[in-house]
Amino acid sequence: MTDSLLPTPSSKSTLIDDTIITQMRTLIGAIKKHNYAYYVLDNPILEDSEYDQLRLSLVELEEQYPDLVQPDSPINQVGDTPLSAFNQVTHDVPMLSLGNVFDYDDLHNFMRRVNDRLSDAQQNPEYEIELKLDGLAVSLKYEYGQFVQAVTRGDGRVGEDITQNTKTIRNLPLWLSDAKDIELLEVRGEVLMPKAGFERLNRLAEENEDKTFANPRNAAAGSLRQLDPAVAASRPLAFYAYSVNQGLPDIIETQSAALAWLKDIGFTVSAVEVVSNPRAAQVYYESVIETRDDLPFEIDGTVIKVNSLALQQQLGYLSREPRWATAYKFPAETVITRLNNIEWQVGRTGQLTPVGKLEPVKVGGVTVSNVTLHNFGEIQRLDVRAGDMVSVHRAGDVIPKVTRVWHEQRPDNSEPVTLPSNCPVCDSPVILPEGEALARCTGGLFCPAQQQEALIHFVSRRAMDIDGLGERWLISFFEHGLVKTVADIYQLHNHQDDLITYEKLGEKSVNNIISAIEDSKHTTLARFIYALGIRGVGETTAQNLAQQFGELDSLMAADIDTLLQTPDVGAITAELIYEFFRAPHNIEVIDELIKAGVHWDAVEQTVAEGLPLDGQTWVITGALDSMARDEAKAKLQALGAKVVGSVSAKTTALLAGEKAGSKLTKAEKLGVKVVGEDEFLALVGD
């Protein structure tokens, strides 16, 4: 039942009255909760577009079931009951809201509706376009040029008297010499906080460990509602005028002229464009989208107004909004849709990424049907399941993201998401090492999703060093199906004719490739281990493993505790190595490599006994001047020391270079000896 509370393509017409009423009540509850949070607490709980969607769902229900409209429906109400801390003031002229259009068709329809109410001679009037400033509406009164009162919009009929706080806004004129003869001038506009001031304010709040504001609009609202005008005065607010509601000189006949006049007499107004057809309005709207990020303040669209004030009067008002103006809002950046399913994708390096399959939805101007859920931890953090309604956010070029899960809408039969135990591509076991966010497929050498990456790594200079087999050719052979796993490289000599056909390679080039492959068969155990591309096993770890185990078989058979004895191998890497050698397909590929003739000289295991640093455990941190950390590590190991990654009570010494951080602090705390670079160089004899 709760399923269709939010806009979904479900059929509402078959539902019985009770269900409709329940849906309406739930929507009303959510809208009211948000209205209070937004208008009274200045602390919204929903994105504007989410709020719009909830309202739209309610409007649709009310249109479809007019008999069931609830008496307290918030649809025709503006704002919320004002806070009682300020005096309440009834507006002379109600402060209304604006209707919205979201695309060119909507805009066209708006202009058509205007035409429908105009005579033949008045058709296709001129329109004036302004920026839709994202602050809060305020009405100002001036008597004979003297500022006397500022009132918030409140519920549209009654607002709050914020005169004292408004006086502190620096660009707001307190005296208008050009309006000194006007008995009562009422100017309306938007109080906002420019982006730079907002960032400064939040930075300061963070430093003082105070509450930060969610966005400039809330910061502006919160500042105006300060009971202490001194605090309000310290806030970087600005006032932008957008209409004259009483006292406009008669000779002014258009909205654009009214704004020009406001500017002349001392107000700040934002950009204005006058157009004569919907196309031009669209072009201007699109140009504003392009430049909105460069503006010093936030806007959420444009406002399109019939320019002639006489026509405005003729067109009049609907209950909540003028017929002569509409907001052309920017595409919603957060929308609500259903997450139909969660699929797991295997990346080139074996990580499993959950991808949310969405009911396609337009967000930030493009249709989105997939959204990354990053990793299993994120799924747990969001507590998201297939079938949930979710809010999806996409701004600019940033990839879409699930920002909220509507748990209250969860279908009764939904199941928690589990991590697949086997790779969806190659069926090898999947592991999620303790403390890691990313689950991985262990079939590194075999998994088709990872093969290309595995091949490129395998032939690279520091691995098997098959110099003659460039990456481009390798990928082409892969794409032609000549090589799938790294073991297939050693079968390429059986496909020389194919190489010549596919790649138009000359015989000489083919011979070069084949002989480079042949040469690579003689390698070292360390290189071979590195070439396997086990996650977490870089060159140094591969060398350490070769030293520690001496033979491939014993490395392959090692349990996690034994692996942990290896310098540089921590819990996560140990698990990754262990599981790599447990994936049956990896073993097949290794067997094929050995069968094809890959071999290495016996490893000379350095006997640490008798070496000066035998039995010592070192940690290296910070940047060294004279060499890379790996080099320093090799030197210490050559002297018999174990070099590990983290400081503990068992650490013999910490080699600390420049900008040493937490490891140095820890060593000092544990009383571990700290060795500087000079002392180290003396020790290793450099």
Residue positions annotated with a catalytic role: 132
Please name the amino acid found at residue 447: C
Phi-psi region of 325 (alpha: psi -120 to 50; beta: other; left: phi over 0): beta
Which phi and psi angles does 533 have, rounded to 5°?
70, 35
Residue for token pair 């290189």: 527
- 298 or 579: whose CB is closer to ligand IVH? 298
Rounded to whole angstroms, how far apart are CA atoms 400 and 396? 10
- 86 or 242: whose CB is closer to ligand IVH? 242
Alpha-carbon distance values, 294 to 284, 297, 313, 367, 520 (Å): 16, 9, 35, 26, 57
- If one asks whether residue 162 binds ligand IVH (CB under 6 A), the answer comes out as no
- 132 or 338: whose CB is closer to ligand IVH? 132
Beta bridge partners of 163: none
Binding region for ligand IVH (CB under 6 A) out of 62-70, 96-104, 446-454, 470-478: 96-104
Binding region for ligand IVH (CB under 6 A) out of 322-330, 435-443, 478-486, 593-601: 322-330
Query: 591: helix, coil or strand?
Result: helix
Residues 607-636 within binding reach of ligand IVH (CB under 6 A): none
* Element (DSSP H or E) covering residue 589: helix 584-595
Rounded to whole angstroms, how far apart are CA atoms 395 and 397? 6
Rounded to whole angstroms, how far apart are CA atoms 235 and 217? 12
- 155 or 436: whose CB is closer to ligand IVH? 155
The CB-of-107 to ligand IVH minimum distance in angstroms stands at: 16
Report the residue number whose CB is nearest to ligand IVH: 137
- 24 or 98: whose CB is closer to ligand IVH? 98
Rounded to whole angstroms, how far apart are CA atoms 379 and 371? 12
Rounded to whole angstroms, how far apart are CA atoms 314 and 96? 17
- If one asks whether residue 285 binds ligand IVH (CB under 6 A), the answer comes out as no
- 97 or 372: whose CB is closer to ligand IVH? 97
Contact map string, positions 242 to 281, toward ligand IVH, x by CB under 6 A: xx--------------------------------------
Contact between residue 341 and residue 369 where contact means Cβ atoms under 8 Å apart:
no
Contact between residue 238 and residue 194 where contact means Cβ atoms under 8 Å apart:
yes
- If one asks whether residue 130 binds ligand IVH (CB under 6 A), the answer comes out as yes
- 135 or 387: whose CB is closer to ligand IVH? 135
Rounded to whole angstroms, how far apart are CA atoms 526 and 515? 22
Contact map string, positions 189 to 208, toward ligand IVH, x by CB under 6 A: -x------------------
| Alpha helix positions (H), 598-670 | 629-638, 662-670
- If one asks whether residue 98 binds ligand IVH (CB under 6 A), the answer comes out as yes
DSSP 422: B
First to last CA, the chain: 77
E strands in 161-278: 185-192, 238-246, 272-275
404's tokens? 């909220």
Binds ligand IVH (CB under 6 A): choice among 7, 229, 249, 322: 322
Binding region for ligand IVH (CB under 6 A) out of 38-46, 255-263, 320-328, 408-416: 320-328
Rg over alpha carbons for the chain, rounded to the nearest Å, is 35
- If one asks whether residue 578 binds ligand IVH (CB under 6 A), the answer comes out as no
Please name the amino acid found at residue 337: T
E strands in 384-489: 389-393, 401-405, 430-431, 439-441
The CB-of-52 to ligand IVH minimum distance in angstroms stands at: 11
The CB-of-322 to ligand IVH minimum distance in angstroms stands at: 5
Interface with ligand IVH: number of residues (CB under 6 A): 14
Binds ligand IVH (CB under 6 A): choice among 158, 241, 309, 327: 327
Orientation angle between helical segments 471-479 and 496-503, nearest 10 degrees: 100
Task: Report angle CA 457, 463, 466 to the nearest 5 degrees.
Answer: 85
- If one asks whether residue 133 binds ligand IVH (CB under 6 A), the answer comes out as yes
The CB-of-305 to ligand IVH minimum distance in angstroms stands at: 7
Strands 653-656 and 617-621: parallel
- 137 or 664: whose CB is closer to ligand IVH? 137
Please name the amino acid found at residue 253: E
Binding region for ligand IVH (CB under 6 A) out of 9-17, 91-99, 390-398, 620-628: 91-99
Residues 13-72 within binding reach of ligand IVH (CB under 6 A): none
Contact between residue 409 and residue 390 where contact means Cβ atoms under 8 Å apart:
no
- 100 or 496: whose CB is closer to ligand IVH? 100
DSSP 162: -
Binds ligand IVH (CB under 6 A): choice among 132, 385, 404, 527: 132
Binds ligand IVH (CB under 6 A): choice among 137, 232, 505, 672: 137
Binds ligand IVH (CB under 6 A): choice among 88, 97, 149, 496: 97
- 190 or 677: whose CB is closer to ligand IVH? 190
Binds ligand IVH (CB under 6 A): choice among 169, 258, 275, 303: 303
The CB-of-44 to ligand IVH minimum distance in angstroms stands at: 15
Strands 653-656 and 673-675: parallel
- Residue length of the chain: 686
The CB-of-151 to ligand IVH minimum distance in angstroms stands at: 13
Rounded to whole angstroms, how far apart are CA atoms 552 and 526? 10
- 98 or 224: whose CB is closer to ligand IVH? 98
Task: Report angle CA 608, 610, 612 to the nearest 5 degrees.
Answer: 85
Q: Which positions lie near ligand IVH, rule CB under 6 A?
A: 96-98, 130, 132-133, 137, 190, 242-243, 303, 322, 325, 327
